[in-house]
Structure 1
Amino acid sequence: MPEEFNVRKLDARSLRGLAHPLRMELLNALRRRGPATASMLAERLGESSGATSYHLRQLAEHGFITDAPEHGKGRERWWKAVDQGVVFDSTEFDSAGPEVRGMAEILLYEIAATHSRELSGWLSTRDHWSAEWTRGSDMSDMTLQLTPELATELVEKMHALIDDYRGRATDEDPAAEEVRIHTHLFPIETD
């Protein structure tokens, strides 16, 4: 049975706690690589341990991460992610004040920047991967004519399909690797 994939829906309060580039990076590191200390994360991300400690405490205050005492010894404080992802509906913040709308913009642009960095990272290292992994990768773009309702249906079906693959491969499979999937669907201006 695959492990349940817990996601958190962002509201204005939690958006305040996450809408910072370093916090988003710290949370992603904990989600992908598991529990760590502020010092470990500082070294991994090229930041000061003081900055990582501060931002980890902010993430904890907003419920994104929690202590992982089972990993620590002595005074070491280990942190772990509470959930594996977030759900964010930017339209829920349309009537919010400028501060909240600004944080929503920061979050969206940082997600886009992260996607770009991850894709660039793949492109710069793809020759280190096997031919099987190169064939199994994808960088496609398509254009469709859709209504907002059809676009919503398509996004929901893509997410359901991705969820169907969750847990099919495990760490015990020597060919299994962690993969990233980015989906973007947005309307474009046409002449």
Structure 2
Amino acid sequence: MDRTSITPEPHQLRALAHPVRLRMLGMLRVDGPATATSLATRLGLNSGATSYHLRQLAQHGFVVDDEERGNGRERWWRAAHTSTRTAGGPAGTEAGDSADAFLQAAVVVYSEWLQQAVEEGPLLPEPWRDATSFNDWIHRLTPAAARHLMRTVGEMMEAVEDDEDDPRARSVVVQVHVFPRPGQEYDAQERHP
């Protein structure tokens, strides 16, 4: 599959700032097209709720009808892009507030994935147990160095080729978070240079 991404406008990002919508979009991106009913079953929701969230995602350009599927009675949906990139913005602006709301929802989903991965760890085949890694590093960096780090990691991830032909290959989640360690203090000059 060709990799495509969307950098949403603030109003689009705000529509995505909902954990159920993020989960649904992730499922469509990773597992492929689905109906509202099949997503409802997987998410433990009713199909009316998933239909509503799918329409919201469609209205804002994240999902589209999968016209190759369905028989007129079933509406199939697919992700419009393989990834979402956020631009953010200054605190107190529409762009900044939308990005913050999106990140709050994303953290919920990321945390759920981490928890589920740990819970399922004992069930993994040994090669996958050995390949699984949970690490953290703390460095003292300037904002410019932190941005450079993220660009470098992003370039490395973009260079990774999916292995579609090997039956042993599985979807692997790589979460990368770069942020100042919480609880630190900043002087006025740092906040408003």
The residue aligned with 1:124 is 119
Q: Once the two structures are aligned, what percentage of the paired residues are identical?
A: 34
TM-score, structure 2 as length reference: 0.88
Query: Is this contact kept in 1: 2:17–2:106, CA < 8 A?
Result: no
1:74 positional shift: 2.6
The residue aligned with 1:25 is 23
Q: Residue deviations 1:20-76, cap 9 Å, x none? A: 222112111111111011111111111111111111111111111100021111321
The residue aligned with 2:159 is 164
Greater mean deviation of Cα atoms: 141-150 or 11-20: 11-20
After superposition, residues 18-167 of structure 1 pair within 5 angstroms as 18-90=16-88, 92=89, 94-97=91-94, 102-167=97-162
Partner Cα separation in structure 2 for residue 16 and residue 107 of structure 1: 6
Query: Is this contact kept in 2: 1:93–1:104, CA < 8 A?
Result: no
Greater mean deviation of Cα atoms: 143-152 or 100-109: 100-109
The one-letter code of the counterpart of 1:67 is D
The one-letter code of the counterpart of 1:112 is V
Query: Is this contact kept in 1: 2:11–2:98, CA < 8 A?
Result: no
The one-letter code of the counterpart of 1:10 is P
1:162 positional shift: 1.3
Partner Cα separation in structure 1 for residue 67 and residue 58 of structure 2: 14
CA RMSD of aligned residues (A): 1.8
**Given the superposition, is the C-alpha separation of residues 102 and 156 from structure 1 closer, same or farther in structure 2, using an over 3 Å criterion?**
closer
Structure 2 residue runs without a partner (length 5+): 186-193
Partner Cα separation in structure 2 for residue 158 and residue 177 of structure 1: 21
1:102 positional shift: 4.7
Q: Residue deviations 1:127-172, cap 9 Å, x none? A: 11122111111101111111111111111111111121132x11x2
**Given the superposition, is the C-alpha separation of residues 63 and 190 from structure 1 closer, same or farther in structure 2, using an over 3 Å criterion?**
closer
TM-score, structure 1 as length reference: 0.89
Partner Cα separation in structure 2 for residue 190 and residue 40 of structure 1: 45
Partner Cα separation in structure 1 for residue 177 and residue 19 of structure 2: 20
* SS of corresponding position for 1:42: helix
Query: Is this contact kept in 1: 2:22–2:109, CA < 8 A?
Result: no
The one-letter code of the counterpart of 1:80 is R
Partner Cα separation in structure 2 for residue 49 and residue 93 of structure 1: 38
